[in-house]
Structure 1
Amino acid sequence: MSANPAHLPRYAFVDDDVAARYAKDTENGLYNLLPGEIYWRDRYFFLDDHGYILRPRYHPAWKPSWLGTNRDPMFCEDSIILIIPRVIDATRRSDNFRVAIKSTRNDTQELHIARYLTQQHSPQNHCVPILDILQDPLEPHMSLMFMPHLRRFNNPEFGTIGEVMDFIRQSLEGLCFLHECRVAHRDIAAANVMMDGRPLYPEGYHPVRTDYMPDGANDTHPLSRSNCNVRYYYIDFGLSTLFEEGESPLVLGRTGRDKEIPELSNEVPYDAYRADVFALGNLYYKEFLSKYHGLDLIQPLVSMMKWTDPAQRPSADAAFHIFESIYSRTDEMLLRWRLRSRTESAPERVVYDTVAAAREGMYQLRRLIS
């Protein structure tokens, strides 16, 4: 078998017998493109003509890179399959900027609302911007929507209380903006809040196997959120509603990921804005309060956002101002303190608290010196 790149980890290589077995599996179709991937392969040259380059796996003439080598296919970039069939990553040729391309129907509100929100220029706008929209060359009833490539907001994990507070501030600010623009998201959940991960990964990361470098084989080493300017975004406006000026925000429907919103109904109209507030409060509860100690300062706000009676819940704007009041009274040292997992053992707590105390001591020492 042929030689292999030296920068790959040792575990990415196999002996000749295993390599021969992988070659046989490849011949038998184990690593073939899935139906959702064939969709994008068929649009490769169309996207290329418009300045967007898909990964090598989706080139119509693709040949698996591990054939003729001792590399394990798992650690070859072109073996990595799509997770969401109708969304793919690509590189914009003009500046090497990574984008996400989403295939969406022309007859939904998503395109209209996404365009409308992109046109609202404001620092409070935390809606993923639309960079381009192209008519699908093979399916006239579909369009291809181009956005910046983002990653899950909670990967890597949050490290300090201040990092969580920054997320809450940005997500509440973004919800206020949405509602000021007369848009109810109607599908707020962890899957639909993302972040621009570039500041945390100056060397990049793979768009699908996000805990790995762009080669899909080597581990990433993200920077701390506390040392970077991370921006969070709302995505996916497929279920959203844009109300006319002065129109009532009452809606029907039980769609959306969060089925715990108590007033959801197909028969009794409910306030879509207040349902958004509950969903965001529920996200805070599930992703932070239920997972970490030390976040008691936001418990009253989350409880208000999750009140069963929608009329008793604060509006997004009121919730934001309550948060600002809480934040203004929070000690800076507390904001720098680490998040403590509820699954952490007593010995782990001692070790991690010692490290955190030492880090805080170094911070205070640097302040004195400077």
Structure 2
Amino acid sequence: MESDDESLLSSASSTASLDDDDVNSRKAPNWCAYRHLLDRRGYRLDTCRDVKQWYQKYWEGMLAQGYDVTRDLPGYTRACSIKDENELCKDAGLPDNLFRGTHSPSGRKVVIKAVHICSREYDAVRYICSPSLRKSTMNHSIPVYDLIEVPADSLVFIVMEEWYPQFMYEVPGTLRLFLSALRQSIEHIVFMHSHNMAHLDISVHNILTDYKGHYAFIDYECCRRFDGAHTPLIKGIRSTDVPPELESGGWTDPYKADVWQLAVLILRACKIAGYNVPELVAFVRPMLHDDYQRRPSAASALRAFDAVVAGLHRERLDASGQ
């Protein structure tokens, strides 16, 4: 028999939309061709030497903590198989539009993303990272170091701080920390909506952490801005999870689509993290309403979420999940 959250998730199927134009599709640049340009801006793409050094430091840290390690890992083996240590060594686990690197002056690790200069993602990231928005405490987007335009090739390289996929690999240790991650996720969508933006691809895959209690959104490929539009409507989006009205080919309010996706995110995160919180299942029900007009706003959802958390006992908040 399905649990409440599983039955709610059953209607959250994934599908692709018809929106696949060239400007907003993923780019796969010849990274070698832009290596020197990025280097002049202070960013070194990972070489075979960098990859081997990373694995060696990782193993040293694991051994210091008393863990057994195996050196027979695909990434390390691949780096060792290339004779020239200065040759670029792309992470095979990343899509072709992403490359790992290092900020040369500071030694900080970065991830560089290539997008079209006219893409929705570049428009969204440039706006979110503007000085007036970046300082907002509600802005939980990944820190961006640099935006490097190459107009001749219609490309932009977005240089981001390297964060990590929390929910998919290491869940927060207590319910309190887990709820903090969820709250930051909801708060960022409230922030976006307050600036006439909809993310439209909210999922556990698109939220990262710095392992210091901070969470951030990535991937604004589906994002839309609606400056001057009081009641925007959309149809045919391509995203991880698609609301039922869009899946059937209809129209929807983009902000209410985000609310539906937030509900799916919360249920999936609970399942992955192993936290059974019936109050959250009840909380998300209105957010998953088939009639998008009857879903709450993101701001209303945040207030309701805070009310749920305020009603939980301290013992439950400090309890671990799995």
TM-score relative to the length of structure 1: 0.65
User: Unpaired runs of 5+ in structure 2?
Assistant: 1-26, 56-70, 81-88
CA contact (8 A) 1:40 1:58 kept: no
- Partner of residue 115, structure 1: 126
**Separation of aligned partners in 2, 1:306 and 1:195:** 26
Give me the CA root mean square deviation. Answer: 2.7
Q: Does 1:183 align with 2:193?
A: no
Q: Does 1:255 align with 2:218?
A: no
Shift, 1:195, TM fit: 1.5
- Partner of residue 325, structure 1: 307
Corresponding residue to 1:157 among 164, 171, 177: 171
Show CA shifts across 1:220-268 (max 9, x none). Answer: xxxxxxxxxx111111111111011343221121311103x11115853
**Match for 1:98: what amino acid?**
K
- Partner of residue 208, structure 1: none
Shift, 1:105, TM fit: 0.7
Q: Which has the higher contact order (CA 8 A, sep 6+)?
A: 2
**Separation of aligned partners in 2, 1:314 and 1:162:** 24
Shift, 1:78, TM fit: 2.7
Choose 1 or 2 for highest CA Rg: 1
Q: Does 1:238 align with 2:221?
A: yes
Shift, 1:151, TM fit: 1.3
Cα–Cα, structure 1 residues 318 and 325, in superposed 2: closer, same or farther, change >3 Å?
same
**Match for 1:256: what amino acid?**
S
**Match for 1:304: what amino acid?**
P
CA contact (8 A) 2:222 2:237 kept: no
- Partner of residue 48, structure 1: 39
**Match for 1:324: what amino acid?**
D
Cα–Cα, structure 1 residues 58 and 321, in superposed 2: closer, same or farther, change >3 Å?
same
CA contact (8 A) 2:112 2:160 kept: yes
User: Unpaired runs of 5+ in structure 1?
Assistant: 1-35, 66-70, 200-229, 341-370
- Partner of residue 335, structure 1: 317
User: SS of 1:85's equivalent?
Assistant: coil
**Separation of aligned partners in 1, 2:172 and 2:28:** 33
- Partner of residue 78, structure 1: 79
**Match for 2:232: what amino acid?**
P
**Separation of aligned partners in 2, 1:149 and 1:266:** 37
CA contact (8 A) 2:146 2:160 kept: yes
**Separation of aligned partners in 1, 2:187 and 2:28:** 36
Bigger shift: residues 306-315 or 266-275: 266-275
CA contact (8 A) 1:124 1:174 kept: yes
Bigger shift: residues 182-191 or 287-296: 287-296
User: How many pairs align?
Assistant: 263
